[in-house]
Amino acid sequence: MIEAWHALVGSLPFSWAAYDFMKNALLAVIVVTPFFGLAGTVVAGNRMAFFSDAVGHSALTGIALGLIAGFTDMRLPMVVFAVLFALAINLLIEKSRASNDTVIAVFMSFAVALGIALLSAAGSFRKFSVYLVGDILAVGPGDIAGLALVSAAVLVFFFFFGGAITLIGMEPGLAYRSRLSPLMVRTLFSALVSVTVVLSIQWMGLLIVNSLFILPAAAARLVSRTLRGYSFAAMGISLFSGISGLLISYYAGASCGAVIVLCAAFIYAAILAAKGVAGIMARNDY
């Protein structure tokens, strides 16, 4: 499959199409960005923006624990820690009277501080600083396969639980009356978000990975009238931002993850400005 993709993209009349790392990066963007947009509609709707940001920053602790345990590939310890992190946050939110933001802030502060302390004590912080800004050009076939699996898992989740997670975001009591466990559904979705964030950190960077959940969903909300339209608009905006950001970053020589986020931010600002102008014109007509 990868060979066929390389042959297909390599036939395009562009300079970047001659490089395997660009072909891999483009495939990774196509595979995962639509599902960032889809998951982002729930992240925004369920007020989980702070949660996904916390997961990204806590990845440092997963790296540190993996280093201590002797792992050479940090993806597994990062994923395991992220899932446990999500489970702990959801359990404490469910069982305590503390606000969501307070619980998430406490966990994030502890995890980030612990990760930095362990990595700096081992003299390895500089080695893993690439995770702060990401490097999509380092994505290989194995990474793409992992992203594809996560994207498929997000799609399956939305097929079975999309309605439930929307109900929970609007009114948790409705979910209880329909015999669903909000804790179970929310925790399952949180685990998927955690895995998506962790596997994407290496190409987006933990400093900005959360933005790709929020910006396409925020832009899509401005132009959507139905939940279905909202989901498809968020996926389309995320995909367009990913592809255009990758290509712009190639010619500009800038960080790909940052340019992707800037593209999404530009789309949000353009839609917001267009709606503002349309509103002014409508008032003048009236």
**Structure confidence by residue, pLDDT tens digits, 13-48:** 888 888 888 888 899 899 888 988 888 888 876 667
Looking at this protein, which amino acid is placed at residue 160?
F
pLDDT at 285 over 70: no
pLDDT at 116 over 60: yes
Helix (H) or strand (E) run with residue 52 in it: helix 49-69
pLDDT at res. 89: 85
pLDDT at 275 over 70: yes
pLDDT at 233 over 90: yes
Where are any strands of DSSP class E within 95-238? Answer: none
Class of residue 133 by CB neighbours under 10 A (exposed 0-12, middle 13-18, buried 19+):
middle
Interval 220-240 mean pLDDT: 90
pLDDT at 248 over 70: yes
pLDDT at 203 over 60: yes
Q: Can you give 15-43 as a three-state secondary structure string? A: HHHHCHHHHHHHHHHHHHHHHHHHHHHHH
pLDDT at res. 118: 84
Q: Rounded to a whole number, what is the largest CA-CA distance in the chain?
A: 69
Q: What is the pTM of this model?
A: 0.84
pLDDT at res. 160: 81
Which pLDDT tens digit goes with each residue over 142-191? 888 888 888 888 888 888 877 777 666 555 555 555 566 777 787 888 88
Query: What confidence tier does 50 reach under pLDDT thresholds 50, 70, 90?
Result: confident
Which CATH entry fits the domain spanning 2-285: 1.10.3470.10, 2.40.30.170, 1.10.10.10, 3.90.76.10? Answer: 1.10.3470.10
Interval 55-65 mean pLDDT: 82
Higher pLDDT, 241 or 52: 241
List Cβ<8 Å contacts ≥24 apart for 171-174. Answer: none
pLDDT at res. 232: 92
Handedness of CA 24, 30, 34, 35 (dihedral sign): negative
Closest to 137 in 3D by CA, of 39, 243, 33, 257 = 257
- How distant, in Å, are the alpha carbons of 16, 24, 56, 191 from that of 255? 16, 16, 18, 28
Higher pLDDT, 250 or 169: 250
Angle at 115 between CA 109 and CA 193, to 5 degrees: 70
Query: What confidence tier does 253 reach under pLDDT thresholds 50, 70, 90?
Result: confident
User: Cα separation of 89 and 102, whole Å?
Assistant: 10
CB of 83 closer than 8 Å to CB of 61: no
Closest to 1 in 3D by CA, of 141, 136, 155 = 141
DSSP 241: H
Class of residue 153 by CB neighbours under 10 A (exposed 0-12, middle 13-18, buried 19+):
middle
